[in-house]
Structure 1
Amino acid sequence: MLLIAAALLTASMHSLGVVEAPVAPAVHSVAAPTSSVTLVVDTSPARPVMTGVQMTAEDLAVAHGRTFLVDLSRLDRSALTRAETDRRVLATTQDDPPSAADVTTWWAGLGVDERRLLESAAPSVVGNLEGVPYDVRDRANRSVLAADLADPSIGAARTAMLGQVQQSLVHDPGAPRRNLITLDTRGSGRAAIAIGDLATAADVTVVVPGMFFTVTGQMTDFTNTANDLYSEQATLAGVAAPGSGSGVAVVAWMGYRTPDLSNILSLGLAKTGAERLERAVDGLRQLRDGEQPRVNIVAHSYGSTTALMALSSGRMSADTLTVLGSPGSDVQTSSELSVGAGQVFVGDAHSDPIAGSGYFGTDPGSSTFGSTVLDLAGGADAEDAGDVFRRPVGHNDYLKPGTASLHDVALIAVGRGDLVREELRRGEGGKDGVPQTSPDMYLVRPQDLHPRD
């Protein structure tokens, strides 16, 4: 049934019309010859030091971890320019990068001129390393975007993808600036755009998309959806829980390849996406060391499976998790998740054929999971009777303006999950009086599946 649901979702979506201060590698020194030899290994983070050794782009292409950062710092402009277009270097940057902790320490130890050189000569690298400040990454990625769009040889498909990213960065006068914090131009592409200031926001929400979302097809729409959530959160400043920092920030995180009809039945992309999500959140936490924001994950459809994997890995934590239209995962209960106590929320809209299906395992909205199932029936706000919200309908209606679900997600993201209304949890087979939500396609209208108006 998931394939049938996926096919209808596809059809409906298509109907929408440094020579300076180089850095030494990790030191391996051997004691003076005696009766025994002692190997001393330097395990401290990568840091700039003076050295006369000059590295090449070829050296960088085979380096990994802290060594990658060390070698990167030792390239002159010519070598950096060559490295910028080396597929192996880009693959390391995007797919197997150094840890955010090492990157943060390394970047802090660089001089101003070294940073400028790296940003100007190797923007594709600097713009995608978790642990580099977000304003630097935004500048670097925008320069790559502009240069590629000005290149007539990149082809129609890549031009279309980058055009979507460019359009996604446009904001209304007076609205917060949008920062391009991830840009992977390989293949079908990946991107992440932050609305608000990630360096100072008290509340940071990362929105993870589900199946059929691509940079070329939905990046602009997805970023506008993140902006809708940002705007809803901003209206709740008066009731927001205290936090470290001020204001809110929302990330439209299309940082992984989502499945299409050819691979919707596999969890491979969710696993890869979970690893990328872990790195993205770790980057935020490293940069905000000492002043941690409230981190909220909002995940839709297959994205919820991805987020559940990440939060059960032991390598990532969040203050809240909200899953919308989830097909489930192999996580059995909320106790397996590194999420604040009582801070797992589930949204199941009327006529959503995916929500509650448990296709990939346990339904997070089941009575045994330990989550709060949101009452999305709509109506007047419990705190302000002047606000009336409508019920979301279908699989892609959750974050539309005016819905009860968008309002609830915003409340949760500003630390006020205590204000959302709870629905009865589902038991096995719907035995607790709530009809079991399963993929019954006879109840789904094509118009319910449109991502946005």
Structure 2
Amino acid sequence: MPEGFEGYVRENDEDRSWIGRIADAFEAAGGSGSLSNVALDIAATGQAAPALQRLFQADLTPAEIAERWAALGLARADAAVFDGLPTDVLARVGNLEGVPYWARSTANALVLNQRLVEVERQIEQLEGTVASAGDGSRALAQELTALYADRKALRNINAALTKKGSDGKRFLISLTDHHPPLAAVSIGDLDRAQSVTWAVPGMDTTTADMTTWARAAQNIADEQTDVAGAPDRAVVAWVGYATPGPEDVLLMDKAKKGGQRLADSIRGFSAVRGTDHVETNVVAHSYGTTTGAVALAERGVHIDRFVALGSAGLPDGLDGAEQLHADHVFAAQAKDGPTGNTGEGDEWATFGREKSFGHHVDPTAQSFGATVFGADGGTGSEGQTLSSVLHHAPVFKDHRGYLDRGTESLHNVALATTGQDELLTGTRSQ
């Protein structure tokens, strides 16, 4: 083929590809609707679009990203335009701190669907290969096992996203490309909420069971509504870090990395909401309290209230509640149960602190200075009977975990995170 003609064919292929992307973007916008120059530019050139090059520039702060996003002029009404954007653009937008959450959730939901289709395709293809590989299939079988783990996580994230409580829609505000992915599902609209709570999990919480942690977050949201009415609130089921397993729960490594990611999430929220007055809380469980404390010791991070439940220990060197960048610090632990024996109290928290390498601090100790509330059952703020916590778990099949409905622990979490300290049960000043 003559060289000039080959170049001509290549240019025509590129033109057809460009026309296809523009047509997809217009179709997503409603066919007869109009698209901004920015939207057309992004649809046509993906990450090479100048507007995105500025947005994706390295080392930008969340505040700088928020400013550059605002300059794009894209609003919630433009959400359909995302259907025509390349996957690589969607994946970056969906996890970029400083971008409004409607845009992140729109992008992440599209990526989630694409990944579900792709992982199913890969599994189907590899299952056939493994079946015919004979003795040489070990490496392929390992790859297939990893794909099964990804599929389970992606399906569970999707289930957590599509199951709605009394508060309405859920939002997928982060979805990483880890294997399996990390993710965060917001129960309520973070762009509009006047009160936001991050729910931070502990050991062995992964997106493979995202529905369980979303249920714990939903319980917080429902209890907040019960004790304080229903203004605009959001609770984030945040599985935004690789939680430790039994082999490394006594170490600080996962807490340090997770704390940095949580700090980034809090900074990103502050950048998106700007000068809006929003009450912010972190409710952390077990090793999540270690992670949360790392985040709240970071410069440039501040919240209104931090609640530590069944703490596996805050970092050594954190001598008092005043060292955390939170206006109010609360803590609770159910009575100690025999280590490893569930159903008789908290069977792991004290063990986690005492045997740890680097996180020995007990937030319920009088010397720490937190407000300690009850978790062992009693009478609620409206005279209701509240159950005791009988497990270290956040939720349990008998509904006696720290964040189960009907427990004294959850009732007090809701009171603490809605500013009703005077109604806390089992309180003692530290």
TM-score, normalization by structure 2: 0.72
Q: Does 1:159 align with 2:156?
A: no
The counterpart of 1:323, out of the listed 308, 314, 317, is 308
**Contact 1:207–1:250 (CA<8 Å) still a contact in 2?**
yes
**Contact 2:373–2:424 (CA<8 Å) still a contact in 1?**
yes
SS in structure 1 opposite 2:280? strand
The counterpart of 2:382, out of the listed 372, 381, 384, is 384
Once the 2 structures are TM-superposed, how far is the Cα of residue 263 of structure 1 from its aligned partner?
2.2
Q: Does 1:150 align with 2:117?
A: yes
Comparing both chains, which one has the higher relative contact order based on Cα–Cα distances under 8 Å and sequence gaps of 6 or more? 1
1:442 counterpart residue number: none
**Contact 1:365–1:425 (CA<8 Å) still a contact in 2?**
no
Pairs within 5 Å for 1:174-193: 175-193=167-185
Once the 2 structures are TM-superposed, how far is the Cα of residue 310 of structure 1 from its aligned partner?
1.2
**Contact 2:46–2:85 (CA<8 Å) still a contact in 1?**
no
Counterpart amino acid of residue 390 in structure 2: V
1:416 counterpart residue number: 420
Q: Does 1:265 align with 2:262?
A: no
In structure 1, stretches of 5+ residues that fail to align are 1-71, 84-88, 241-245, 427-453
- Distance in 2, matches of 1:174 and 1:424, equals 34
- Distance in 1, matches of 2:176 and 2:220, equals 25
Once the 2 structures are TM-superposed, how far is the Cα of residue 391 of structure 1 from its aligned partner?
0.8
**Contact 1:158–1:185 (CA<8 Å) still a contact in 2?**
no
Cα shift readout 1:305-353 (whole Å, capped 9, x = no counterpart): 011111112231110010011122221101111111xx21111012213
The counterpart of 1:312, out of the listed 278, 285, 297, is 297
Pairs within 5 Å for 1:359-438: 359=356, 360-381=359-380, 383-385=381-383, 387-396=384-393, 397-423=401-427
Identity, % of aligned positions:
33
Q: Does 1:236 align with 2:227?
A: yes
SS in structure 1 opposite 2:326? coil
SS in structure 2 opposite 1:319? strand
- Distance in 1, matches of 2:325 and 2:277, equals 16
Once the 2 structures are TM-superposed, how far is the Cα of residue 168 of structure 1 from its aligned partner?
0.5
- Distance in 2, matches of 1:172 and 1:98, equals 34
1:49 counterpart residue number: none
Once the 2 structures are TM-superposed, how far is the Cα of residue 366 of structure 1 from its aligned partner?
1.0
Counterpart amino acid of residue 210 in structure 1: G
Once the 2 structures are TM-superposed, how far is the Cα of residue 173 of structure 1 from its aligned partner?
7.1
SS in structure 1 opposite 2:72? coil
**Contact 1:324–1:355 (CA<8 Å) still a contact in 2?**
no
Cα shift readout 1:64-86 (whole Å, capped 9, x = no counterpart): xxxxxxxx999854652799xxx
Pairs within 5 Å for 1:186-335: 186-216=178-208, 218-238=209-229, 246-328=231-313, 329-330=315-316, 331-335=318-322
**Contact 1:119–1:136 (CA<8 Å) still a contact in 2?**
no
2:348 counterpart residue number: 354
Q: Does 1:98 align with 2:60?
A: yes
- Distance in 2, matches of 1:314 and 1:119, equals 39
Pairs within 5 Å for 1:26-175: 77=43, 80=46, 98-112=60-74, 116=81, 120-121=85-86, 122-151=89-118, 152-153=121-122, 155-172=147-164, 175=167
- Distance in 1, matches of 2:297 and 2:210, equals 28
- Distance in 2, matches of 1:363 and 1:112, equals 47
- Distance in 2, matches of 1:78 and 1:248, equals 38
Distance 1:175 1:421, change over 3 A: closer
- Distance in 2, matches of 1:337 and 1:172, equals 33
- Distance in 1, matches of 2:372 and 2:255, equals 23
Once the 2 structures are TM-superposed, how far is the Cα of residue 265 of structure 1 from its aligned partner?
2.8
Distance 1:229 1:97, change over 3 A: farther
SS in structure 2 opposite 1:148? helix
Distance 1:131 1:384, change over 3 A: same
Distance 1:79 1:260, change over 3 A: farther
- Distance in 1, matches of 2:156 and 2:48, equals 27
Once the 2 structures are TM-superposed, how far is the Cα of residue 108 of structure 1 from its aligned partner?
0.3
Once the 2 structures are TM-superposed, how far is the Cα of residue 376 of structure 1 from its aligned partner?
2.0
Distance 1:173 1:272, change over 3 A: closer
TM-score, normalization by structure 1: 0.68
